[in-house]
Amino acid sequence: MNQVEKRILKNIIKKYEEDKPSITSRRWFNPVLWVVLCALIFLLLQLKESDGIGNIVLIVISAFAGAGVMLVSAIQSGEKSWRIMKPLINIEKAKSLQAESNT
């Protein structure tokens, strides 16, 4: 087993044994994210209108905000998929494979 496979197996076992849900799966997270994003857009448009920032700065900040929302969306999608996949994983076999690879 190569190093990448060992790391993947270790992460699967760690994720399987973890009980704490991520903050992005909390019920309040999406509404707060959208309020913050709307406030950021409003602030940027106000600053742009008063010539407080240039076009490039507006584009860069908007791109980073969009990338952040995309990252949160990907994490939430992974969390939903994990809830479906977790019962299908044979954790005992994964642990025995990890023990074999460490020897």
pLDDT in tens, 86-95: 999 999 999 9
Q: Is 90 exposed, middle or buried (0-12, 13-18, 19+ CB in 10 A)?
A: exposed
pLDDT in tens, 37-68: 999 999 998 988 888 788 888 899 999 999 99
CA 18 to chain centre: 16
pLDDT tens by residue, 3-16: 999 999 999 999 89
Q: What average pLDDT does the segment 70-75 reach?
A: 95
Overall pTM > 0.85 = no
